Structure 1
Amino acid sequence: MRFIKSLVPRSGFRIRPTQLQLLQTRSLTSSFRGVAVNTRQTPTPAQSRYRRPAKMDINTAITPPISLTAADTARFTTLAEPKMLVKSPGSHDPNTQSNYLIFYPLHNKVSITIDFEKKRFLGDITTQFECRQQGNCDEILLDTRDVEVQGVEILTGPGLKGWSLGEEAKKGNYGRQLRISLVNGVDYQSKVTVKINFATTDKSAALQWLTPEQTTNGKFPYVFSQCEPTYARTIFPCADTPAAKSTYEFSVRSPLPVLCSGLQTTVGSFDKKSGSLLYGYEQKVPIPSYLFALASGDIAGTRVGPRSWVWGAAEELITLKAELDGEVEKFISIAEDITDSEYAWGTYNVLILPPSFPFGGMENPVFTYATPSIISGDKENIDVIAHELAHSWSGNLVTNATFQDFWLNEGWTVYLERRIGAAIHGEKFFDFSSIIGWKSLEESVNEYGPDHEFTKLVPNLVDQDPDDSFSSIPYEKGFTFLRKLDKLVGREKWDKFIPYYFKTFKGKSLTSNVFKETLLAFFENDTEAHKALTTKIDWDKEYYSPGLPEKPEFDTSMVDVCYELAKKWKNKDLLGFEPAHNDMDGWTANQKVVFLDKLTSYDPFSTKDIDLLAKTYGFDNSGNMEVVFRFYSVALKAKYEKYYEPAAKWVQGIGRMKYCRPTYRSLAACDKDLAVKTFRARESWYHPLCRAMVKKDLGLDN
C-alpha cells in the first residue's frame, strides 16, 4: 500500500487515471502488513456458526410502511384521539414541512457526483410517492434547507404544473418548503414519481469537508455526511422525518473510495476526465432520511468477524483490527438472542472517521460511523459499538415517529447495549454502567435546569430545532424508564415483550403513546403485570414531567471500591491516606471513570492533590479519552492554571461533543478569553454541528 503516498501531487489534489485505478480497482483483498485489507467493495455476508445468520436472506425487501398501518391505527386509538395523554405533542412530526402523510415516499434513486475542489454534491434524487389520502391530492411538499433546487420533473403520474420554494421558516431551522404542483390531482394509492436536480452549498450542514491535513494520515481530502436529526434536507429535497421510511439506490461518482448506508452492488464506469469511479449501493430495508449516509476518502477495510468489518485509513488497520477483532460478532449474536430476531442488514461495518466526527457513533445502516476515541488500546471504550449495533433493531428497524419520541430510539438502544454488556461481563455490569449513565443524566438536567422542557422524556419540539434538545436525557431517562418497566413486570415477562415489540414494529415508526398502548395490550391477559402497569406507573408523569426521574436502586458492588478510594482522597489529610500506584490494580478503565466522576462531585481539590493524582495514577498521560477528559474536568474545576493550556491543546484535537463541549465550558469558567481563542483557532476544523453547539456554549452564537 506504500504506493498510495504518490497519489497526491504537492501542487494540489488530483489523481491521475492510472493511479486511481490502482487505488480503487485492485483486487478485493490485498495484504497490508499481514492484515487482509478490503479497498474496493462491501463484503458479502459470511456463513456464521450461529443459528440465525445461516438463515439470513438480506435480499428480501420489506414493504415500505407508513408510520402505522390501518390496523394499528384502529387498535391504538390514542393517536387519533388522545384522551388520557392530553399533554402529548401529537403524532404528526412538527419538525418537517413535508406532507408525508399525504404523499408518502416509497423508493429513492440518488445520483451524486462528489466535487472535492468545489466542496459540493451535484446530483438528482428520483422518488416514488404514494398518495395515502382519499380525494384529489395535487401538491407534494418537501423539506429543503441551504440546498440549490435546480429542476423538477414528473416521470410518472400527472404532469407538472409548477414548483416553487417557500420563505425560510422563521423558527426551528426548518429551511424552505419545496412545493410541487401537479396538473391533475391523484387519488388514494396512486403513484407519482418525481425527479429533482440539486446541488449542495457551503451551508449544507449535513456535510463535513476535510482537507488532507484534517484527516488521520494527511494524504487525501475526505467528506462524510451526518443527517441526524434533520439535516438530510441540506443534501437533497425530501420528506425529512423519521416517520417516513423508504428504500434507496445510490449511484455515487467520486475520485476516492465511497461507502454508503447500503450494500454495495457495483464499482465501474471509470471517467478519465474527472479521474473518478461510479459506485453503486442499494438499501432494500426501508430507512428514514436521517439514516442516509455517505463517506468518501482514503478508506480501506479489514475483516474483524464472520460478518463484520472495520474501515479507516490503511495505516490504521492493524490497530483497528486489534481493538475490534472477535468482539463485534459477540455483540451481534447476543442482540439477536435478546430480540429473538436476525440481524437484518447483511454485514456490519464500522467506519472509524477522522477525529472531528462529533458523536461517539452514528448508527447508519450497514456502515456505522464511529469516533476514533473508541480505539484506546484496552478495548474499554468499544461499548460504543455495542450501542450502535443495538440501533440495528432500535432506531433503524423500529423508529421513533418524531424526535419528540427520541427516547424510543436511544432509551431502547442504551437498554440493549447494557444487556449486551451484562451478557459478556456479568449481570453486575448492567448496574455498573447504569450508574455511569445516571451521572451523565444528572449533569444534563443540571445544565438545562430541572424545569426545562428538554428535560422531559417526551419534550414539545414544536417550532424547535431537534438538535437543540440533544443531550443524554433521551438516552438515560429513556433507559431508566425501560429499566423501571423491566423491574415492575419482572425480567422473565419483560424478555417476552422485547421480541414482540421489535417484531410488531419492524419497518415502522411509532410514538410514545403507541408504545404505551402496545405494552398494555401485550400484558392484557396477565392480571398482575397489567395492574402494575396501570396503577404503579403514572404515564403522564413519566412522559411529561421535567427534571430527574426517581433514582433507581442500583447494585453498587462494582463501584463501591471506586467510591471508597474517592472518599480517601477527599479526606486524605484527616485519614492520613497515602496514595500508591497499586491502589487501582485490577481496575477497568470504566472504574477509573467512576472514581474521577466521584471526585468531580466533591468540592474542588487542591493543586497539590491534583499533581499527586497525575503522578500516582498517570491520568494525564492515559491513552483512554474517557479518563483524560475526566481528569481535566477535576483539574479545571479546581481552576488549576497548570492544566489550562494542556486541556486547551487536547480539546483542539477532539471533535466528539461528549468531550469537547463540557471541556470548553470548563475552560470558559476558568479563562473565557483562552476558551474563545482556543475555539477560534480551530473553528473550521470542527464539524458544523459541533461548531454551532460550542458557539452557543461560549455565547458566540449571536
Structure 2
Amino acid sequence: MTRPSAWFYAQKFLLKRLSGIALPKPKSILSAQRHSSFVTTSSPKRHDSMANTTINPPRDPNTLSNYNNWRTAHTTANLEILFEEQRLSGNVVLTLKSITHAESKEIFLDTSYLDISAIKVNGRSAEWALLPRREPYGSPLRISLDTGIAAEQTVEVVIYLSTTSSCTALQWLTPAQTSNKRHPYMFSQCQAIHARSIFPCQDTPDVKSTFDFNITSPLPVIASGIASPANPTVTPAPSTSSLYKFHQPLPIPAYLFALASGDIVTSRIGPRSIVATSPDQLSACVDELSADTESFLQAAEQIVYPYAWQQYNVLVLPPSFPYGGMENPIFTFATPTIISHDRQNVDVIAHELAHSWSGNLVSNASWEHFWLNEGWTTYLERRIQASIHGNDAWRDFSAIIGWKALTDSVEQFGHDHEFTKLIIDLKGKDPDDAFSSIPYEKGFNFLYYLEKLIGKDRFDTFIPHYFTVWKGKSLDSYDFKATLLDFFVGDKAVTESLAGVDWDTWFYKPGLPPKPDFDTSLVQPAYELADRWQTLTETNSPSSSSSSSSSSFKPHPSDIHPLSGNQQVVFLERILTLPQPLSPAHAALMGTIYSFQTSRNVELSSRWCQIALQAGDRSCLDAVRGLLGSVGRMKFVRPLFRALMRLDRGLAEQLFDTNRDFYHPICRAMVEKMLRE
C-alpha cells in the first residue's frame, strides 16, 4: 500500500483553517496526543466523577474513548437475541493494542445505557467503573489494569453485558409491525454514535477492527460479515434457538456493526449477490433488484478498482427503517420504499454499493468530515448511473434533484448555520442533529467542481489512487486536500488549476456553493409540465377552483406518460418551489389525475402530499396519515411532519403520538425535536 510522501505532510501542516479549530499536525512529528481523548491524573480506583479526567479529543470530538492509547484490533460479539425481553445478552471480546510509548494502565470505552455485569482482562477479573453520563455521548467505561502495557502489546478484554430498553441502536418490532405479521423482528442502526448502546467500544470512525459475530437467535440472523457455511439454512421453530456465525476479515469502524433477525428468507439477485427479506416480499424484491445489482458492481469497479468485500447483498427491512439504506458491509440494509415496482428507486443500491469504497474501505476520521463519506459516495453513485445509461446527462439529472434537496436543507438550517458548512464543528453536539443532504450534495458539488476544473480524464486517474492510499484507513479533509495536491505535483497544468481553488471557502463557508452549469436536457420535459401548471396559479387566487381557470392548460393523465419516475420527481419538486402554491382544488386534481395519491412509489406520493399540504388541501390528510403510519424513512417522515405542522400542528402531534412506537428511535428523536421547535 502506497504511503503518502513527506511533501504530503508538509502541505497538510501548512493548511489554514478559518474556524479556529487547532490544525492537525503532520504525522511525521505526531506525538502521543494525536489521538488523545483522555488525560487522567487519578489513581486506578473506582470513582463516580470525571473531575480528574480531561476530555481533549483530537480528530473525533464525539467519542469518550482513549483511542490515543489503545486501538481495537479485533472484536468478537457473542450475543443472544432475546425477543421477549427485547434485549441482547452475552459478552463482547475486544483485542486492544497499546499504541503509546508510555505504559498504558487505563482503558476508556464508549457506552450508552448498557447493563454491564463483569469484565475480565486476560482472563482475570478487572476493576472497572461507569463514569457519569456526558450527553449526548453516554457514560465512559473505565477499566483499570493491574500493570502497565507497553506499546504494541495487546490485552484481551471480555465484557459481560446486556442492552437495555434505552438502547438507541436497536428497534424491536412485534409481529403486527412486520409485513406478514408472523414473527417479531429486530434490526440495528449504529451510525453515527449508537454502537456504544449495543456494546462497549471505541465508537469512532477513526478506529477500525476485524469482527466475528456469534449470534444465537430463534429466527434467522443477518450480520455485517461473511456467513459461515455451517449456519442454519432452514428457518427454525420460534421455540428453539440456533447459532449463526459471521466473519468480517476487513477492518471496519464500530458504526458498521450490524445485526438483524426475523422471518427472513433469501434469493439470488446476481453472481455475487443475494437479497434477504420477509417471505411475502421476496418475489417483488428479486424483480426490483436482479436487473441492476451486478451491473452497478461492474460499473463501480471500472471507476475505482475491484470490489474488496467478496459478496454484495441487500437486506430489505421492515418499513420503520429510518434511512434509504445503510452501507453495512456485505449486507446493505435497505428501506422497502426502494421496492416501487418500477425500478425507479434502485439508485439507492448504487449509492450504498459505492459506500463499499467510500466510507467502508476509506472512512471519514470523524463526523465533522462526513462529506468525505457521503460526498464521495454520491459522486460515485452518479458516475455509476452515467456509466449504466451511457450518458453523462443522467449524472446531471440526478445532481439537479440533489440540488433541490441541498437548497431545502440550507433553507431549513439557515444560510449561516454551522451545519451548512462542508466541515462542521460537532464539539459537544450530537452528529444526528447535523444529518441532512448537505454533506451528500455539497460534497458532491465540490468533487464535481474539482473534476471540471482539472478535467475528467485526469480526475479519473486520481480516483483509484485516493482509494488505494487510504484503503483500510480513516482521514480528514486536510488529508484529502494533501493527497490530491501530492498526486498532481508533477503535472504543471493541474497544479496551476488547483492553485486557484479557494479551499477555505469550500471547507468553511456556510450556505450554498456556486451552482454548476448542469445539463438540463433530461429535466426540461418536467420543467415544461410544471410551467403549464404554473399558469393555473397565475390566473387564479389560491382559493379558486379549476373550473374558473382562464388558463388554456387542461391537465390530462397523458401529461406524465413520457416522464420516467425520476422525471416525475423533478416535476413535483418544481411544483413545490412555485412562487404561488397550487390551490387546494388544483392540488387534489393533480393527485387524482396523475394517480400520485395512490402511487406505490413513495418518492411520488410523499412529494404530492407535501404539495397538497402546502396548498391547504385537507382532502390529502388520509393519504398523509397512511404514509406516516406505514413509512419510517426520515427522508419522507420529516418533510411530511414539517408540512403538516404548518397546516395543522395539533394533527401533527396526534399522528406522531399514534405512530411513535412504529418509528425507529433515531427517527422518533428527530421528529420529537422538530415538534418542540
Q: Same fold (TM over 0.5)?
A: yes
Query: What is residue 345 of structure 1 aligned with on the other side?
Result: 309
CA contact 2:406–2:438 (8 Å) conserved in 1: yes
Matches within 5 A, 1:193-204: 193-204=156-167
AA of the residue aligned to 1:312: T
Query: What is residue 30 of structure 2 aligned with on the other side?
Result: none
Query: What is residue 177 of structure 1 aligned with on the other side?
Result: 140
Q: CA separation in 2, counterparts of 1:161 and 1:332?
A: 47
Query: What is residue 326 of structure 1 aligned with on the other side?
Result: 291
Query: What is residue 224 of structure 2 aligned with on the other side?
Result: 261
1:284 aligns with 2:249: yes
Please identify, of 691-700 and 176-185, the stretch whose mean Cα deviation from structure 2 is larger. 691-700
1:189 aligns with 2:152: yes
Aligned length: 626
Q: CA separation in 2, counterparts of 1:502 and 1:465?
A: 28
CA contact 2:219–2:238 (8 Å) conserved in 1: no
Q: CA separation in 2, counterparts of 1:344 and 1:239?
A: 24
Query: What is residue 678 of structure 1 aligned with on the other side?
Result: 655
Pairing partner for 1:592 from 565, 568, 578 = 568
Query: What is residue 269 of structure 2 aligned with on the other side?
Result: 304
Q: CA separation in 1, counterparts of 2:474 and 2:249?
A: 17
Structure 1 residue runs without a partner (length 5+):
1-61, 63-68
Query: What is residue 600 of structure 2 aligned with on the other side?
Result: 623
CA contact 2:119–2:126 (8 Å) conserved in 1: no
Q: CA separation in 2, counterparts of 1:79 and 1:103?
A: 28
Please identify, of 431-440 and 100-109, the stretch whose mean Cα deviation from structure 2 is larger. 100-109
Query: What is residue 514 of structure 2 aligned with on the other side?
Result: 550
Q: CA separation in 1, counterparts of 2:293 and 2:238?
A: 41
Query: What is residue 635 of structure 1 aligned with on the other side?
Result: 612
Please state whether the residue corresponding to 2:323 is helix, strand or coil.
coil
The structure-2 alpha-carbon separation of the partners of 1:615 and 1:164, relative to structure 1 and needing over 3 Å to count, comes to: closer
1:153 aligns with 2:120: yes
Q: 1:106, CA displacement in angstroms?
A: 0.3
AA of the residue aligned to 2:457: E
Query: What is residue 113 of structure 1 aligned with on the other side?
Result: 80
AA of the residue aligned to 2:300: A
Q: 1:618, CA displacement in angstroms?
A: 1.5
The structure-2 alpha-carbon separation of the partners of 1:288 and 1:119, relative to structure 1 and needing over 3 Å to count, comes to: same
Pairing partner for 1:222 from 185, 195, 199 = 185
Q: 1:373, CA displacement in angstroms?
A: 0.3
Query: What is residue 89 of structure 2 aligned with on the other side?
Result: 122
Query: What is residue 500 of structure 1 aligned with on the other side?
Result: 465
Query: What is residue 85 of structure 1 aligned with on the other side?
Result: 17
Deviation per residue, 1:27-48 (Å, 9 max, x gap): xxxxxxxxxxxxxxxxxxxxxx
Deviation per residue, 1:281-312 (Å, 9 max, x gap): 10000000000000000000000111111111
Q: CA separation in 2, counterparts of 1:388 and 1:228?
A: 14
CA contact 1:78–1:513 (8 Å) conserved in 2: no
Q: 1:606, CA displacement in angstroms?
A: 1.0
The structure-2 alpha-carbon separation of the partners of 1:80 and 1:136, relative to structure 1 and needing over 3 Å to count, comes to: farther
1:141 aligns with 2:118: no
Q: 1:621, CA displacement in angstroms?
A: 1.6
CA contact 2:12–2:478 (8 Å) conserved in 1: no
Query: What is residue 19 of structure 1 aligned with on the other side?
Result: none
Deviation per residue, 1:487-516 (Å, 9 max, x gap): 001000000000001111110100001000
Q: CA separation in 2, counterparts of 1:680 and 1:641?
A: 20
Please state whether the residue corresponding to 1:598 is helix, strand or coil.
helix
Query: What is residue 485 of structure 1 aligned with on the other side?
Result: 450
Q: 1:648, CA displacement in angstroms?
A: 2.2
The structure-2 alpha-carbon separation of the partners of 1:620 and 1:274, relative to structure 1 and needing over 3 Å to count, comes to: closer
Query: What is residue 412 of structure 1 aligned with on the other side?
Result: 376
Kindly report the root-mean-square deviation, in angstroms, between the aligned alpha carbons of the 2 structures.
2.0
AA of the residue aligned to 2:16: M
Q: 1:271, CA displacement in angstroms?
A: 11
Pairing partner for 1:377 from 335, 341, 345 = 341
Query: What is residue 215 of structure 2 aligned with on the other side?
Result: 252
Q: CA separation in 2, counterparts of 1:470 and 1:73?
A: 34
CA contact 1:358–1:656 (8 Å) conserved in 2: yes
Q: 1:84, CA displacement in angstroms?
A: 2.1
Q: CA separation in 2, counterparts of 1:160 and 1:99?
A: 21
Matches within 5 A, 1:599-614: 599-602=575-578, 603-614=580-591
Deviation per residue, 1:81-140 (Å, 9 max, x gap): 565235356552100010112100001111001100100000111111111111121111
1:395 aligns with 2:372: no
AA of the residue aligned to 1:121: L
Deviation per residue, 1:36-68 (Å, 9 max, x gap): xxxxxxxxxxxxxxxxxxxxxxxxxx9xxxxxx
Q: 1:607, CA displacement in angstroms?
A: 1.8
Q: CA separation in 2, counterparts of 1:488 and 1:442?
A: 23
Query: What is residue 363 of structure 1 aligned with on the other side?
Result: 327
1:455 aligns with 2:431: no
Deviation per residue, 1:423-442 (Å, 9 max, x gap): 11221100000000000000
CA contact 1:160–1:180 (8 Å) conserved in 2: no
The structure-2 alpha-carbon separation of the partners of 1:117 and 1:143, relative to structure 1 and needing over 3 Å to count, comes to: same
The structure-2 alpha-carbon separation of the partners of 1:681 and 1:446, relative to structure 1 and needing over 3 Å to count, comes to: same
Query: What is residue 39 of structure 1 aligned with on the other side?
Result: none
Query: What is residue 547 of structure 2 aligned with on the other side?
Result: none
Please state whether the residue corresponding to 1:183 is helix, strand or coil.
strand
Please state whether the residue corresponding to 1:108 is helix, strand or coil.
strand
Matches within 5 A, 1:422-571: 422-425=386-389, 426-535=391-500, 537-571=501-535
AA of the residue aligned to 2:612: A
TM-score normalized by structure 2? 0.90
Q: 1:161, CA displacement in angstroms?
A: 5.7
Deviation per residue, 1:15-34 (Å, 9 max, x gap): xxxxxxxxxxxxxxxxxxxx
Q: 1:229, CA displacement in angstroms?
A: 0.3
The structure-2 alpha-carbon separation of the partners of 1:163 and 1:72, relative to structure 1 and needing over 3 Å to count, comes to: farther
Please state whether the residue corresponding to 1:267 is helix, strand or coil.
coil
Query: What is residue 209 of structure 1 aligned with on the other side?
Result: 172
AA of the residue aligned to 1:664: F
Deviation per residue, 1:500-555 (Å, 9 max, x gap): 011111101000010000000001111111111122x1111101111111111111
AA of the residue aligned to 2:556: A
Structure 2 residue runs without a partner (length 5+):
25-57, 540-549
AA of the residue aligned to 1:179: R
CA contact 1:79–1:514 (8 Å) conserved in 2: no
Please identify, of 330-339 and 135-144, the stretch whose mean Cα deviation from structure 2 is larger. 135-144
Greater RCO (Cα-Cα under 8 Å, separation 6 or more)? 1
Q: CA separation in 1, counterparts of 2:312 and 2:262?
A: 20
TM-score normalized by structure 1? 0.87
Please identify, of 357-366 and 187-196, the stretch whose mean Cα deviation from structure 2 is larger. 187-196
AA of the residue aligned to 1:129: L
Q: 1:326, CA displacement in angstroms?
A: 2.7
Q: CA separation in 2, counterparts of 1:86 and 1:635?
A: 43
Identity over aligned pairs, percent: 47
Please identify, of 444-453 and 86-95, the stretch whose mean Cα deviation from structure 2 is larger. 86-95
Q: 1:673, CA displacement in angstroms?
A: 0.6
Q: 1:600, CA displacement in angstroms?
A: 0.6
AA of the residue aligned to 1:469: A
1:668 aligns with 2:631: no
Q: CA separation in 2, counterparts of 1:698 and 1:624?
A: 27
Deviation per residue, 1:554-585 (Å, 9 max, x gap): 11111111111111111134652122222222
Q: 1:190, CA displacement in angstroms?
A: 1.1
AA of the residue aligned to 1:427: D
Query: What is residue 580 of structure 1 aligned with on the other side?
Result: 556
Q: 1:645, CA displacement in angstroms?
A: 3.3
Q: 1:315, CA displacement in angstroms?
A: 1.8
